[in-house]
Structure formats: C-alpha cells, structure tokens
Chain A
Amino acid sequence: MTEMIKLTGLTKRFGQITAVDAVDMTVESGEVLGFLGPNGAGKSTTMKMVAGFLEPTAGSASVCGWDIQRDPVALKKTLGYLPEGAPTYGDMTPQSYLRFIAAIRGFDGAERQRRVDAMVDRIALREVLHQPIETLSKGFKRRVGLAQTMLHDPPVLIMDEPTDGLDPNQKRHVRSLIREMAAEKAIVISTHILEEVEAVCTRAMIIARGKICADARPDELRSRAWNHNMVLITADAGDEATLMKAIGDLPEVGTIDVAGRSGDTVRLRIQPAGREQIGPRIGEFVRSKSLPVRELFIEQGSLDEVFWSITTDDGKQDSEHA
C-alpha cells in the first residue's frame, strides 16, 4: 500500500468565502474513498484542486508524488478525473472523442485504437459509437465521460458524482466497474447517495463547510448513529406490560418505550445503556423466559442518521441529547 494522494492544509478561498478549509488527507492504493457532504460543502472544489483545475489558495496537494503547483502536467498524466456532470464535446462522436483523448494521453496508431476499443467494450458504448454525443441519453453521456477518465488506466481516479442522474441499472454497472478497479488503484468518488458509500467505498469522509468532520470505514461511521444496536420487538398488544417490565429490568437496557402500534400488535424500542451489542443478550433472554415475542430486529444504524447529525446544527444538538 502506497500513498497515492496527499493533501496538506489544502485551502481555497473565493473572496470572503472559504470553500475548503485546511484539509489534510491521504489516500492509498487499494482504497476507495467516498467523499460525502451536503451541496456546497467543498467536495467539488477539493477535487478540482487535486485534479489541477483550480489553484489552491494555501496548502499543497500531490498525486503519485507529483506536486500540483510544481509538476501539473506530470500529475495530470497519472490521474483520471471525471468532472461533475461529465461534460464532453457534444458535436463529437464517442469514437472521435475517445480517440482525441487517447492521442492527448500519448497513444498512437494501433495502440490508440486498441485502447479505445477495449474501453468501448468494457463500458458498453459500441452501439452508439458513431452518434454525436449530444444526441445520446444521459446514461451514455456519463459512460463516455467515464471511458475518458479510465482510458489510460491511471493509478489514481477522482470522480465527482459518477452515478448522478443514472438509472438504478446504470448505477449498478458503474459501481461494479469501480469495484473491479479498486484493488490496484486509489479511487476517490464524491456522492450524496449514502447507499453508494456502503456499496463501493472502503473509507468514507464527511466534509461540511470546507472542513473534514469524519473519516472512517462506512461500518464504523454507521455505528455512530443514535439508533445503532437498537433492538425492536414486535409482540401482541396484550403482552406489552409484561415485556416492558421483564426486559426493562435487564441491566444492559437503557430505555424501553413504545415505537408504534398497529392493529393488535405493538412495537417496542429498546435502547442499550452502553455502546455494547444488546441484541444477542435480549434474544437469549426472550428464549430462556419464553416471552411472547413475535419478531426481534437489531437496528444497524444508518449512514443517513450519521450524515445528518454531523452536517447539520439540528443534527448535532439531537445527537447530543440522545
């Protein structure tokens, strides 16, 4: 594992506004980093600086050891960058566009055509190869952008919302592409689709107001949710009091309350007293006492909750109270 991307105190100000505020981060080969944050948090600005499109106001960024200010062209050679919205020249066909990119990336003659062909097959562009890009569907346009990003098989990929605006099948396809490449590359994707982070990322970073607020594995992040390890029990309405009493007396249990009723059933919500897993303990207890429980469910916590609590003021207060 080697350090492929390194940011040190990277800062970008637009006039009075600090879009990115002294961000430090390293990404190693083999990692897929999910860059999360509300709109306007500084995700795109950070990525644009690493890709060499924006000049940082302060701090430094390097990719594969190339500094963005000193060796921008060498850095851009090692990098595949997909800008937000995957803009491409609409009047060109995928074929001519990819040939142009391949030429700029230094491929000639037969090698150039081989690269283009391989990418066209891999990303399933064959059927639209000779149509102007502006006439293609959103999914195909995005795929042309992805093909351009990966054409030179770069060791580092930075993709700004690679699945934005795609239908579920296309999203799935793009995610599987990213997973295929993940082993030997360092990949950074930005997204605000949280399921995507769980599906492809080995690491998640939450950024808000230009600052990094969290940096952890997706499952670690999820364990910070207020409802992580919460146990939900469904039972007959008539057994409510018995269960509340029996389970509420367990030392591991913090609180127990009614989450909802429907018809003749009731749902009880059990919060742990500490951070430990209480699911198995309650399951065992229910079995040993033969308590009248219909269904027992252990909540894993969701990234949504964590994201909300980290990136909003309301969320912060809420998680402090919880």
Chain B
Amino acid sequence: MRNIGIIARREIGSYFGTPLAYVFIVIFLALSGALCFYLGGFLFRGQADLEPFFVYHPWLYLLLVPAIAMRLWAEERKTGTIENLMTLPISTPEAVLGKFLAAWLFCGIALTLTFPVWITVNILGDPDNGVIVASYIGSFLMAGAFMAIGSCMSALSKNQVIAFIIAATACFLFTMSGLDLVLNFFRGWSPEWLVTTVASMSFLTHFNSVTQGVIEFRDLVFFVSLITFWLFANVVIVDLKKAA
C-alpha cells in the first residue's frame, strides 16, 4: 500500500510539474462548459438539473482520458525508465495501481473543478442535489473505467500515438456497445446471450441509469469489475512486454 501511494504521488507531481495538467484541466473545463451550454441548451430548457452537463461526459472522456492514459506506460518504455521502476523493490501490481490511481485522481480533480456549474444551477433554480451527487460519482467511475482501458493499452505499445488510438477505439466500442452500431455487428452470427452480454457492457446504459439519480449496485459492480479486469490485464501486459 505504501509503495502505491509513493508511486501515485510521484505521478501526480509529474502532471503538475509539466504543462500537461494545466492544459488538460483548462480544456476539460472549457469543453464541458461549452457542450453543456451550447449543445445541451442548459439555459433554455427550463429545467434546473445538470443532465445537459453530464450527458456529454462519455464523449468528453472518450477524447481526453486516452490522452492522459497514453503516456502511463508507453513513455516509461520509450525512455527506458521502466527499467528503473521495475528494478525498484516494488511489485508490478503496485506499479500499475499507483499509476492508475494517480491518473484517475487527476481526472477527479478536473471533474471537481466543474463545481461552478453546480453552484450556477443552484442559484438559477432548485435542482435535486442527490441526483447531481450520484451523477458526479457515476461520471468519476466511468472516467476510471476509461482510464483502466487506456492504461492497459498504453502498456501495449512504446508509441504514445498508437496507444492513444487503440485506447480511444476500445473506449468507443465500450461506450457504444448498447447501440445498433456495435450490436448489428454481432447480431447476424452470434447467439443471443452474446449480444445481450455485449449490450450490457455499454458505458452509456450504465452511466445513464446512474444519472437518473439511482446508484444501483449492479452499475457499481459493472464499473468496479471493469476497472479490475483491465488493470489485471495491464499487470500481465507490463510483465510480458516491459523489456521488449
């Protein structure tokens, strides 16, 4: 546990030691605000809620989370620092978790900084703050799932651009898997249970149910087990490919 904390602190420190953190936060805030006000029609729909704000989060994460995740392992392998890291007295799961938690926490910081929207909606009307809290939690969990996928993909390649593209594609498939775009691909040939399984993997479905204000146990389990699975895969890939 101690080592996970130390690694996470170093990672967070390096986000804020470079322009990365500031660029990311500014763009995240600008985009989430713009989408909410212009596309979502926040001011004109006559409802005091944050639905037009949260509804764009999956798409925002689709672009921005792989951008954070792509460097996690690809950069270590490219610069050779992975040889230092993995010969320190730590285990691979500790390294993977430390890096992941730092990146996830960083997303959490960016998400927290959207609080003016929450204040605004409370000034303008009388929203259901329970729903908003649930939506924030759901959004954070979804960011974690995107990040776990991205972290795992980053371990696959030394090249950050490749890592970004693979991660964004994988995240896209998970986001869309409830829609016909993905499901039609499976429908023709695969058994019904597979189609249902794929459909149940959809981030959109789970996230939407959370943003209704009900944090259901199965949605929690979905995101947590997805994170666990991808981090496990991440550990395996790091061990296999660290020296390649």
A interface residues (Cβ-Cβ under 8 A, vs B): 48, 51-54, 72-74, 76-77, 79, 81, 83-85, 87-92, 96, 100-101, 103-106, 132, 148
B-chain residues with CB within 8 Å of residue A91 when the two chains form the complex: 14, 17-18
B225 on the A face (CB < 8 A)? no
Interface residues of B in 193-244 (CB under 8 A from A): 242-243
Check if B91 is an interface residue, CB within 8 A of chain A.
Answer: yes
B10 interfacial contact with A, CB 8 Å: yes
Q: In the A-B complex, list the 7 residue pairs whose CB atoms are closest, starting with the nearest.
A: A87-B80, A83-B83, A76-B89, A77-B89, A51-B87, A103-B6, A87-B81
Residues of B within 8 A of A105 (CB): 88-89
Q: State whether B13 touches A96 (Cβ < 8 A).
A: yes
* A12-B135 Cα distance, complex, nearest whole Å: 52
Evaluate contact between A83 and B80: CB separation under 8 angstroms.
yes
- List chain A residues, Cβ under 8 A from B17: 91-92, 96, 132
Q: Please state if A79 and B10 are interface contacts (CB–CB under 8 Å).
A: no
B88 cross-chain contacts in A, Cβ below 8 A: 76, 101, 104-105
* A67 CA to B30 CA, complexed, in Å: 53
B interface residues, tally (CB under 8 Å): 22
Whether a CB of chain A sits under 8 angstroms from the CB of B120 is no
What total of A-B pairs shows CB separation below 8 Å? 65
- CB pair B80–A85 under 8 Å, yes or no, is yes
Contacts of B3 in A (CB 8 A): 104
C-alpha spacing A73/B87, complex, angstroms: 9
Q: How distant is the Cα of A51 from the Cα of B88 in the complex, in angstroms?
A: 9
- Extra contacts, 20 of them, besides A53-B243, A73-B91, A87-B79 (Cβ < 8 A), are A51-B87, A53-B86, A54-B243, A74-B89, A76-B89, A76-B90, A77-B89, A79-B87, A83-B80, A85-B80, A87-B81, A89-B10, A89-B14, A89-B81, A91-B14, A96-B13, A96-B17, A103-B6, A104-B3, A105-B88
Whether a CB of chain A sits under 8 angstroms from the CB of B190 is: no
Cβ–Cβ contact B6 & A104, under 8 A: yes
Q: Are B6 and A90 in contact (CB under 8 A)?
A: no
**Within the complex, what minimum Cβ distance (angstroms) separates A259 from chain B?**
47
Question: How far is it, in angstroms, between the C-alpha of A72 and the C-alpha of B10 when the chains are bound?
Answer: 23
Which chain B positions have C-beta within 8 A of A73?
89-91
A84 to B79 Cα, complex, angstroms: 11
Find chain A residues with CB under 8 A from B243 CB: 48, 53-54
Contact residues, B5-49 vs A (CB, 8 A) = 6-7, 9-10, 13-14, 17-18
Give A15 Cβ to nearest chain B Cβ, in Å: 11
Given contacts A73-B89, A105-B89, contact A100 B6 (CB under 8 A): yes
Q: Which residue of B lies closest to A50 (CB)?
A: B87
A85 and B79 alpha carbons, distance in the complex (Å): 10
Measured between beta carbons, the chain A residues less than 8 angstroms from B86 are 52-53
CB-CB under 8 A from B91, the residues of chain A are: 72-73
> Which B51-103 residues have a C-beta within 8 angstroms of A?
79-81, 83-84, 86-91
